[in-house]
Amino acid sequence: MSIPDPKTALQPLGMLPEEWQEQLEAMGQPAFRGRQIVEWVFAKRVTSLEQMSSLPKSLKEVLAPRLQLRTMQLAQATGSRDETRKLLFRLQDGRFVECVLIPASPDLYGQRADRLTLCVSSQVGCAMDCRFCASGLAGFTRNLNAAEIVEQVVQAELVAGERIDNLVFMGMGEPLANLTALIKALRILNAPWGMGIGARHMTVSTSGMVPQIRQLAQAPVPVRLAISLHGASDEVRTTIMPINRKYPLKALLEALEDWHRLRSQRITLEYILIDQINDGLDQARLLVPLARRLDARVNLIPYNLVEGLPWKRPSETRQRTFAKVLEDGGVRVTLRREKGHDIAAACGQLRLKQETAEGIVDGPAVAARRMAAAAASSGHVGAEGD
């Protein structure tokens, strides 16, 4: 099957009803055809134009060369039904994205245990260069468009054989660096005519892009916010997250306070515990007032090893000691123990492996990033611990 010209292609999974109206008007078609198409696409999930039996032949002929109902293919799925499963999708341009299906998970992002969560990617690769992360290792390739973001959910539901009712944008990429497509995708994911995912069941996780946090706060999309914090002082955070140089903690906290005020909504602070890097009691003690100031809950995530990176997971004793300081300080804290839930650090490994095997990653760039991580780990800030 030939691929439509990207300049004129219509990708219904990424289209709003008003866009259909505009398109159909230009084709001399009545507006109600747009509602029919939207229903075929989302409610009935058809995968071919032929299945849209209520559309006239003349309209199908006009749409046929431009319509793209699906743009990605499942390349790999790991795990079984009851486990956390990684899904690898091949995009039309031959690149890969990963997403993660997380079954019933007590208290994950404050949701009930009967939810099926999908961790979604927003970009191919990532430019943020967090030193511990597999997604950033091969650098940034491109943004996903709204259709590609929504399609991950559609395709993952097929693999899961059931409805996904909770989304976390914690997969590959920095979602706020792709804000326009993200906001459009969130509208489609939430809309009753679209994917119908509840307003309180979509969480966007950012490394801390301050201006975009402020923009998202103003956008009329229902979404929760999680921050990949991973350090409670500028010194430690900058060691592992270069974005902290541009938006240090003071600026980040002010933006988060404004979000909290504007949205009256609790923020989640994600904190990947990395051995001897950010898991010292000094960091735990600094995290207490910071979380309390924001009325935030803290998710502690023991680091998941990434091939070729020097970081390690702390001992369980160190993890528990860190969590206890937060608890004693009156902070709502969750320490993840379940294998597979430590998504953020590990996400991207499958894709990196696949793209390396196919020779489409820049080997020297990956090597340079690994060296930067090694340098950061050897010059780490001393951590007081168990």
Q: List residues with catalytic annotation.
A: 98, 347
Cα gap 237→301, rounded to integer Å: 16
Q: DSSP alpha helices (H): ranges in the chain?
A: 17-26, 32-38, 57-63, 146-160, 179-190, 210-218, 234-240, 243-246, 249-263, 281-294, 316-328, 343-346, 349-357, 363-378
Cα gap 114→249, rounded to integer Å: 35
Q: Which of 352/381 has CB closer to ligand SF4?
A: 352
Residue type, 202: M
Rule CB under 6 A: choose which of 11, 155, 228, 278 binds ligand SF4. 228
Cα gap 352→363, rounded to integer Å: 11
Segment contacting ligand SF4 (CB under 6 A): 172-180, 249-257, 274-282, 377-385? 172-180
Rule CB under 6 A: choose which of 229, 284, 344, 361 binds ligand SF4. 344
Distances from the Cα of 212 to the Cα of 129, 150, 190, 205, 217, angstroms:
18, 21, 20, 12, 8
When asked if residue 126 is in the footprint of ligand SF4 (CB under 6 A), the reply is: yes
Residues 291 and 321 sit within 8 Å (Cβ to Cβ): no
Q: Which of 91/130 has CB closer to ligand SF4?
A: 130
**Which residues in the 55-84 window bind ligand SF4 by CB under 6 A?**
none
Residue in 14, 15, 31, 51 with CA at minimum distance from that of residue 153:
14
Q: Which of 129/151 has CB closer to ligand SF4?
A: 129
Segment contacting ligand SF4 (CB under 6 A): 79-87, 101-109, 129-137, 259-267? 129-137
Q: How far apart are the first and last CA of the chain?
A: 61
HSE-up (13 A, CA, CB side) for residue 82: 0
Q: Which of 134/146 has CB closer to ligand SF4?
A: 134
Residue in the block written with tokens 């998504």 = 343
In angstroms, give the least distance from the CB of 336 to ligand SF4: 16
Provide the mask over 180-219, with x wherever binding to ligand SF4 is found by CB under 6 A and - wherever it is not: ---------------------------x------------
In angstroms, give the least distance from the CB of 172 to ligand SF4: 6
Residues that contact ligand SF4, how many (by CB under 6 A): 13
Q: Which of 207/212 has CB closer to ligand SF4?
A: 207
Helix, coil or strand: residue 199: helix
Cα gap 31→8, rounded to integer Å: 20
When asked if residue 136 is in the footprint of ligand SF4 (CB under 6 A), the reply is: yes
Q: Which of 40/96 has CB closer to ligand SF4?
A: 96
When asked if residue 174 is in the footprint of ligand SF4 (CB under 6 A), the reply is: yes
When asked if residue 242 is in the footprint of ligand SF4 (CB under 6 A), the reply is: no
In angstroms, give the least distance from the CB of 157 to ligand SF4: 23
Return phi, psi of residue 141, to 5°.
-105, -60
When asked if residue 135 is in the footprint of ligand SF4 (CB under 6 A), the reply is: yes
Exposed/middle/buried for residue 94 (C-beta within 10 Å: 0-12, 13-18, 19+)? exposed
In angstroms, give the least distance from the CB of 324 to ligand SF4: 26
Q: DSSP alpha helices (H): ranges in 109-219?
A: 146-160, 179-190, 210-218
Cα gap 134→378, rounded to integer Å: 19
When asked if residue 128 is in the footprint of ligand SF4 (CB under 6 A), the reply is: yes
Q: Which of 174/342 has CB closer to ligand SF4?
A: 174
Segment contacting ligand SF4 (CB under 6 A): 151-159, 167-175, 191-199, 370-378? 167-175
Residues near ligand SF4 (CB under 6 A) are: 126, 128-130, 133, 135-136, 172-174, 207, 228, 344
